[in-house]
Amino acid sequence: MVGALDEGAERVAAGVSNQPQQQLQMRIAGDTNVGKVRTTNEDSMIVDHQLRLYVVLDGMGGANAGDLASQTARDAIGMFVQHQRLTMEPKQLLEAAIQYGSAAVFNAAQQARERHGMGTTCVACMIIDAKRAVVAHVGDSRAYLLRHGRLQSLTRDHTIVEELVDRGVLAADEAERHPYKNVLSRNLGARPETRVDVLELEIKPGDRIMLCSDGLYGYASNDGMQYLLGSGDPPETVARDLIDLALRGGGGDNVSVIVIEAPQPAPTSTQVVRTSGATAWWQHRKRFLQIAKDRGITKNAICRGLKPDEALDLVASSLCEAIFHDLEKSTGVNVWTFAQNIAGGWFERGGQWQPLRDLMDILAVSARACVDDIRKTDAKLGFLLDVAVSRALVVAELALGGLLAERLRHVDHDLIQIHGAMQETIDGELDRHDTEAPERTSSKFIDQATIPFMRPDRPVTNPGVSAELVTAIEKTLTIARGRTSPRAELVKQILESLETIATDPSGQFASAVIAARELYGVRTVDDAGVTQLFDALDAARIITASSVHQASVPDAMRAKVLRAVSSAHQRLVGAMTGLVLEAVSPYSMRLEEAKVATGELRDKVARTERKRAELERKFASTVDQSLPWERRGTTEW
């Protein structure tokens, strides 16, 4: 569906050329890529300079419904803005346009069964003037703002998990690991209308706004995005580099990016660093290499096996070049990449932290020595470079920290797995030795109040089982057992249980619970154990249903048999699920207890920290301030 547009309006879906916004002096560019895994690009974009409307949409839905959804919404939104822009104020206009898009997608979805459930996310920015913009979104496509070199998210994802975090039900870190973290709570197309979050943004000189689909932030680190956006490169280069970053990170989804820049002349100091600073740094590279060599870089364990010249070239020279390029472009991406590569490679070889720390310290000291040299001849340039190089070293540490944290996550995961597996064995042992567990009694388990699914209030759906019905049920299940493979022992047991439950004259739930306990047995609480059970229950259901049709009984009786056995089946399944839920409940309780204990410890630490901070403040006031900073305490720089 393509709306009629005025001639001259430039509406493109991808790879927009850098069209300067003459009146607003803004530079804007967008790009999109199908990614490395998907075969279709279900993202769509609007980059319309005449309407000053910029939108990223990420479609979803099977069988190519996703790209239809995003394109339908794109066309509807563009058309609405085109036709209504003179009659509505911007915030209202953008919200109404997105609503219109949602209705369009919903209507399109009703037209064919395979389109049911199709939808799209949407993040949009409309520039009002040089100082104001409106940002609106539905779903998990995002808008970011880069200001003062810091990247901040302007939108919060409309996912169920985010909503739970907002309500305080989930912690942010749990949200990151949650299996439902990608389940949307809102999109365009699920219903005719949707809730749109809209905000009005004040634009400051130098700001960069980025709109993107989850294919970007799902595969590119926050720091990487920040560095690229913070570089002085034009928006079309930044958009392309951001996509490359996502592709290098896996590219598992379609990725679309729009970069909007409110330009500002770069501060003098930044220009100085990018030109004279970078040049001065490069002129001192031999000095850098010499200091690194004198400090023993070639003897570091990481350089073992390399000739001294090779070591200098691969390690020290690489950092020198990385710093140079970052100085030139006011970015940190080259130093970041250097640190990641060297540390990543070292860890993969089983390397320890200390050699890496020693190596980075040597490089840092060498860098500072060069900056000190430059400072002796040019104080102003030296100062600017000192700040810039210190910043570069921070970037390197951030990269290392990311890798260390990643390793810590893996070790934690392994620890949890192994601990869990060992604990399962112990729990299993306890289960098997019933007589040793003090809380277990010798009374029948149906008398125990703890079983959650003993619900006498459930209606009996087979009141009174006649002798004729019992016979028909027995006949049917005999046929079913006969058709079951001898190896499918569990299915046979289920069929026997169904017969018991279905022919139970009381029609109560108790027989289902008893049967469920016997079938459940001693089973680990994991996917494999549960899946095996439910596969068998499904197989029993299918065999029973077809056996009913084979039993030589009148049709009316056949329907009664099926009803009785299906009801029994449903009760058995319900009881089985009840047992699973019973088996998992201790885990939640133990977690709550652990959280309480952590909370108490945390409070204790916080109280002690307040006392320590007070003493530290007092101590600070006694320190001899005339000493150079490096000599006051136990600093190393």
Partner 1 sequence: MSDEEVDLIEAVRVLRDEVLETVEHGDRDPPGAEVFDALINALTVGGESVPGLDLQLHESVTRRLAWGDSEEMVLADAERVFDRVLFAVERALREPTDRMVVIEAATQVAVTVARVVSLAAVGRASRDRAARLREEMAQRQLKEVLEKQRASIVRLELDTTSSDTKA
Partner 2 sequence: MSTAPPVARAYDLLRPKILQRLLELRSTLDPSLGRLEESTARAQIGAVLDHLGNFIATGDLGLHRAFLHTFMAMRAAEAQGPAAVLAMLVAIGDTAAQVSQEENPAPEGSELTLLLTRVTASTARAVNDLIAEELERRMAQWSELSTKERKGLPPA
Q: Say which entry of partner 1, partner 2, none residue 449 contacts (CB below 5 to 8 A, set by partner kind).
A: none
C-beta closer to partner 2: residue 9 or 415 = 415
Shortest distance, position 22 Cβ to partner 1, whole Å:
48
Site mask for partner 2 (CB under 8 A), range 130-149, x = bound: ------------------xx
Shortest distance, position 539 Cβ to partner 1, whole Å:
9
Interface with partner 2 includes 613 (CB under 8 A)? yes
- Cα dihedral 143, 145, 151, 157, rounded to 10, equals -20
Shortest distance, position 526 Cβ to partner 1, whole Å:
6
- Compute CA distances 341 → 142, 318, 561, whole Å: 29, 11, 68
**Binding residue count for partner 2, defined by CB under 8 A:** 78
Task: Give, as ranges, the residues between 387 and 426 that touch partner 2 (CB under 8 A).
Answer: 387, 390-391, 393-394, 397-398, 400-402, 404-409, 411-412, 414-415, 418-419, 421-423, 426
Strand duo 255-261 + 27-33: pairing? antiparallel
Shortest distance, position 382 Cβ to partner 2, whole Å:
9
Distance, C-alpha 553 to centroid of its chain: 57
Task: Give, as ranges, the residues between 550 and 609 that touch partner 2 (CB under 8 A).
Answer: 598, 601-602, 605-606, 609
Shortest distance, position 549 Cβ to partner 1, whole Å:
8
Interface with partner 2 includes 173 (CB under 8 A)? yes
Among 122, 127, 359, 384, the residue binding partner 2 under the rule CB under 8 A is: 384
- Residue listed under structure tokens 């075969």: 39
- Rounded to 10 deg, the angle between the 353-377 and 285-294 helix axes is 140
C-beta closer to partner 2: residue 302 or 572 = 302
Shortest distance, position 558 Cβ to partner 1, whole Å:
6
Piece of 168-176, 443-451, 547-555, 572-580 that binds partner 2 (CB under 8 A) = 168-176
Q: Which residues contact 234 (CB under 8 A, 6 or more apart)?
A: 18, 27, 29, 261
C-beta closer to partner 1: residue 131 or 455 = 455
Shortest distance, position 475 Cβ to partner 1, whole Å:
16
Note the helical H segments in 41-200: 65-84, 90-110, 160-166, 172-177
Piece of 14-22, 169-177, 202-210, 507-515 that binds partner 2 (CB under 8 A) = 169-177
Q: How far apart are the first and last CA of the chain?
A: 64
d(CA 258, CA 127): 13
Shortest distance, position 426 Cβ to partner 2, whole Å:
6
Q: Say which entry of partner 2, partner 1, none residue 153 contacts (CB below 5 to 8 A, set by partner kind).
A: partner 2
- Rounded to 10 deg, the angle between the 333-348 and 318-329 helix axes is 150
Q: Say which entry of partner 1, partner 2, none residue 390 contacts (CB below 5 to 8 A, set by partner kind).
A: partner 2
Q: What share of residues in the chain are helix, strand, coil (percent, to 5)?
A: 60, 10, 30
C-beta closer to partner 2: residue 174 or 310 = 174
d(CA 248, CA 193): 37
- Residue listed under structure tokens 């959280």: 595
Nearest to 362 by CA among 316, 322, 307: 316
Q: Say which entry of partner 1, partner 2, none residue 435 contacts (CB below 5 to 8 A, set by partner kind).
A: none
Piece of 63-71, 151-159, 241-249, 478-486 that binds partner 2 (CB under 8 A) = 151-159
Shortest distance, position 613 Cβ to partner 1, whole Å:
10
Q: Count how many residues are written for the chain.
A: 637
Strand duo 27-33 + 142-147: pairing? unpaired
Interface with partner 2 includes 264 (CB under 8 A)? no
Q: Say which entry of partner 1, partner 2, none residue 366 contacts (CB below 5 to 8 A, set by partner kind).
A: none
Shortest distance, position 297 Cβ to partner 2, whole Å:
18
Nearest to 476 by CA among 564, 538, 537: 564
Q: Say which entry of partner 2, partner 1, none residue 531 contacts (CB below 5 to 8 A, set by partner kind).
A: partner 1
C-beta closer to partner 1: residue 80 or 509 = 509
C-beta closer to partner 2: residue 17 or 635 = 635
Contact 22, 7 (CB under 8 A): no
Shortest distance, position 327 Cβ to partner 2, whole Å:
15
Nearest to 121 by CA among 244, 260, 254, 261: 254
C-beta closer to partner 2: residue 417 or 448 = 417
Shortest distance, position 480 Cβ to partner 1, whole Å:
14
Task: Give, as ranges, the residues between 295 and 354 that touch partner 2 (CB under 8 A).
Answer: 353
- Compute CA distances 566 → 204, 457, 473, whole Å: 67, 19, 11
- Compute CA distances 436 → 216, 412, 440, 522, whole Å: 56, 33, 8, 16
CA atoms within 13 A on the CB side of 318: 18
d(CA 398, CA 379): 28
C-beta closer to partner 2: residue 130 or 387 = 387
Q: Say which entry of partner 2, partner 1, none residue 574 contacts (CB below 5 to 8 A, set by partner kind).
A: partner 1
